[in-house]
């Protein structure tokens, strides 16, 4: 029904698929009513695979999660105080095949077949695709021939933005799976996944669905690599209103945590320490709070914490807590103020907050209270805590609204891929 590779193509370089016209969706047209998507996420330090079954059309689409698994690398990167790209790449390559087997098993799709040898021409194609991931190639040719093609309709994969070495592992894995299973690939923008994930809600029947028609919407995307305000006029209609000019807010959290002697990742550590802090002890700047645009800057705020910490000398636990609170309050104030200004200027009917920093309790509480006070009719969508971090479920959701790739030659990592 969807995509196929003619048997005569297996001895030739596979750069494109013949895809059924019903799968070539425009951004304006309705999406497929029923679809099973296997999604892969490897943009940073989480390896994730999810399988979902969709039904319906916007503004209400049900997503039945058949399996969802994430393998984090946080403990491995703690020694570096941040994500080390080549280590992330290595761990993705080591983890993807076992995680795929687990996900297929969880979904009831891991059906073994009589082992067959991958023919030499096709094996050469796999070797070329996975040439930079020899461990992944070894696992792939050893295990995949034993697995029956699962009942899925497409393979979604994060194409960007993110760490390019990490992205390439997931992309090449998706290409190899698409070849052996004869399925189309759907390239997904990671930030679109973060923007749509908060719209996934529990239904009265106990399932999950993306149901949203409150457009225009203002999206606040906050993570370790991004801080953006996005205008969403409709499904897949995005305009970036502003972005950070230097550090992303999540990056600033990590750097301030290091200044205070806290481990990586810094966001949860700062938030936990700030609970013991006293408000108003230290005055920190609110960079670009009153600038007429929607851009952000957090490098200066981080530097202000650094200078203040040096001035104070050896910090007591009380001083660290007070500094953590002062920083958190300053960062959240800027984020919320600019979001509310965008709501007013663009007549937004909803606000969507996504990305890793959306798990921050102070941000969630402040934006909830501020919207209720100033714009009580504006809807607020916040992701569940597990959907705030990188995951494959959000990639599957975004894939549903995205046309599949028909050309492997153009399917490549896009580390700085922008929305819109």
Which sequence spans correspond to the domains of the chain?
A: 3-197+390-410, 215-348
**Residue 360 tokens, joined:** 């921050």
Domain 215-348 sits in CATH at 3.30.420.40
Residues near 99 by beta carbon (within 8 Å), at least 6 away in sequence: 47, 48, 49, 69, 71
User: Taking phi first (over 0 means left), then psi (-120 to 50 degrees means alpha), and beta for anything else, what does residue 57 get?
Assistant: beta
Topology (CATH level 3) of domain 3-197+390-410: Nucleotidyltransferase; domain 5 (3.30.420)
Q: How many residues does the chain have?
A: 420
Q: Supply φ then ψ for residue 418, to 5 degrees.
A: -95, 150
Parallel/antiparallel/unpaired status of strands 3-4 and 18-19: antiparallel
Q: From first to last of the 420 residues of the chain, give the pLDDT tens digit.
A: 222 222 222 223 333 333 332 333 333 333 456 899 999 999 999 999 999 999 888 878 899 999 999 999 988 888 888 888 899 999 999 999 999 999 999 999 987 765 555 665 667 777 777 878 888 888 887 887 778 889 999 999 999 999 999 999 999 999 989 988 889 999 999 999 999 999 998 877 777 888 888 999 999 999 999 999 999 999 989 999 999 999 999 999 999 999 999 999 999 999 999 999 999 999 999 999 999 999 999 999 999 999 999 999 999 999 999 999 999 999 999 999 999 999 999 999 999 999 999 999 999 999 999 999 999 999 999 999 889 999 999 999 999 988 776 566 678 999 999 998
pLDDT of residue 127: 73
pLDDT of residue 405: 61
The helix/strand count (H/E) of the chain reads as: 13, 14
Q: Write down the residue that tokens 């994930």 correspond to.
A: 197
Helices 249-259 & 299-312 angle (0-180, nearest 10): 10
pLDDT of residue 403: 72
Q: Could you list the beta-strand ranges (E) of 208-280.
A: 208-211, 217-222, 227-234, 237-243
Residue 193 to residue 308: CA distance in whole angstroms: 38
pLDDT of residue 26: 34
Residue 162 to residue 92: CA distance in whole angstroms: 14
pLDDT of residue 31: 44
Q: Do 3-197+390-410 and 215-348 come out as alike in CATH topology?
A: yes
**Burial environment of residue 397 by CB neighbours within 10 A (0 to 12, 13 to 18, 19 or more):** buried
pLDDT of residue 5: 23
Q: Supply φ then ψ for residue 292, to 5 degrees.
A: -70, -10
**Burial environment of residue 93 by CB neighbours within 10 A (0 to 12, 13 to 18, 19 or more):** buried
pLDDT of residue 372: 98
Prior bond to 147 cis, omega within 30?
no
Residue 352 to residue 214: CA distance in whole angstroms: 11
Gyration radius from the chain CA atoms: 22
Prior bond to 193 cis, omega within 30?
no
pLDDT of residue 33: 62
pLDDT of residue 407: 65
- Find out whether 193 and 120 touch, Cβ atoms under 8 Å: no
**Residue 402 tokens, joined:** 């995205």
pLDDT of residue 207: 77
């Amino acid at each position: 029904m969807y995509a196929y590779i003619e048997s005569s193509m297996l001895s030739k370089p596979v750069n494109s698929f013949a895809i059924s016209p019903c799968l070539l969706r425009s951004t304006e047209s309705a999406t497929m009513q029923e679809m099973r998507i296997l999604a892969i996420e490897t943009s940073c330090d989480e390896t994730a695979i999810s399988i979902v079954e969709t039904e319906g059309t916007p503004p209400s689409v049900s997503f039945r999660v058949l399996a969802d698994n994430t393998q984090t690398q946080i403990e491995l990167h703690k020694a570096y105080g941040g994500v080390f790209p080549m280590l992330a790449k290595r761990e993705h390559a080591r983890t993807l095949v076992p995680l795929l087997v687990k996900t297929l098993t969880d979904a009831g799709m891991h059906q073994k077949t009589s082992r067959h040898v991958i023919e030499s021409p096709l094996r050469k194609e796999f070797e070329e695709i996975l040439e930079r991931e020899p461990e992944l190639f070894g696992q792939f040719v050893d295990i995949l021939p034993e697995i029956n093609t699962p009942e899925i309709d497409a393979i979604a994969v994060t194409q960007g933005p993110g760490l390019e070495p990490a992205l390439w592992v997931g992309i090449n894995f998706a290409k190899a799976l698409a070849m052996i299973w004869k399925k189309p690939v759907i390239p997904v923008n990671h930030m679109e996944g973060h923007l749509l994930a908060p719209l996934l809600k529990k239904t009265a029947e106990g399932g999950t669905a993306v149901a949203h028609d409150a457009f225009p919407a203002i999206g606040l995307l906050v993570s370790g690599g991004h801080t953006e305000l996005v205008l969403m006029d409709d499904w897949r209609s995005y305009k970036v209103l502003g972005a950070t000019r230097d550090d992303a807010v999540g990056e600033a959290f990590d750097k301030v945590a290091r200044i205070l002697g806290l481990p990586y990742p810094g966001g949860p550590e700062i938030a936990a320490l700030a609970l013991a802090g006293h408000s108003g002890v230290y005055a920190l700047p609110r960079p670009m709070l009153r600038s007429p645009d929607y851009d952000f800057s957090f490098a200066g705020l981080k530097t202000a914490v650094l200078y203040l910490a040096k001035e104070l000398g050896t910090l007591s636990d009380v001083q660290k807590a007070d500094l953590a609170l002062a920083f958190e309050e300053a960062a959240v104030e800027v984020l919320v103020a600019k979001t509310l200004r965008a709501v007013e200027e663009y007549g937004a009917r909803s606000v969507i907050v996504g990305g890793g920093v959306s798990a921050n309790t102070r941000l969630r509480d402040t934006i909830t209270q501020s919207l209720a006070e100033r714009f009580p009719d504006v809807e607020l969508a916040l992701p569940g805590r597990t959907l705030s971090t990188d995951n494959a479920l959000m990639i599957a959701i975004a894939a549903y609204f995205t046309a599949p790739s028909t050309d492997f030659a153009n399917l490549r990592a896009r580390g700085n891929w922008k929305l819109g």
